[in-house]
Amino acid sequence: MSERTIALVTGANKGIGYEIAAGLGALGWTVGVGARDEGRREAAVEKLRAAGVDAFGVPLDVTDDASVAAAAQQLDRLDVLVNNAAITGGMPQTPTTVEPATMRAVVETNVIGVIRVTNALLPLLRRSPSPRIVNMSSTVGSLARQADGSQDTGPISAAYAPSKTFLNAVTVQYAKELRGTNILINAGCPGYTATDLNGFRGFRTPEQGAQIAIRLATLPDDGPTGGFFDDNGEIAW
């Protein structure tokens, strides 16, 4: 493995995840492309390499213990983890009609998957001089914004939006436990970005959406931890 800064981005074969990998690679970092689908993963690695990025593929299903353990074994070092992989669970998603199976699937990927991957890779991150963890969240997970009827927080979402609220809460708990170490962990919102997650209805490009993750991944050692940010600054919980 390279002695350069090494990052792993989950769900990096497309959309915002791919652009996060590209942006970190443009800094001269070595970037692991975490993805389940072998064909898409290797296509993304090939495209990144063609753009001059030192990229490598990491077979990774964040919902599978064995897959995550194998990914951790593949890595010799790790400096930055970006937990980007997520699903919506499909829409519409009203609380009175949502299937419990949908709730379970969304939380399994968006929350438990983040915990599974983070805990598996923490031993490597602890050995880094400046480790960073970035959890890709969303402003739809902001209870303050959801409760403010004057703000557009998207459609009613009984599984996806609460999963991001849950992820934000977990991020805070990690920050509390890791306070006093050199690990900084924060949640970031990419904004309403055009990806297949929302049927490409967003008004921001994936490259724009990736910028908050890149900023949080490159925080200085005295940077914030346990926060929730977008391009405009801190987001209300």
Q: What torsion do the CA atoms of 60, 66, 69, 70 make, to the nearest 10 degrees?
A: -60
Look up 18 and say whether it is catalytic.
no
* Residue among 197, 79, 196 at smallest CA distance from 128: 79
DSSP string covering 80-144: EEEE-------S-B-TTT--HHHHHHHHIIIIIHHHHHHHHHHHHHHTSSS-EEEEE--GGG-HH
Considering 18, 160, 174, 192, which one is annotated as catalytic?
A: 160
Active site residues: 160
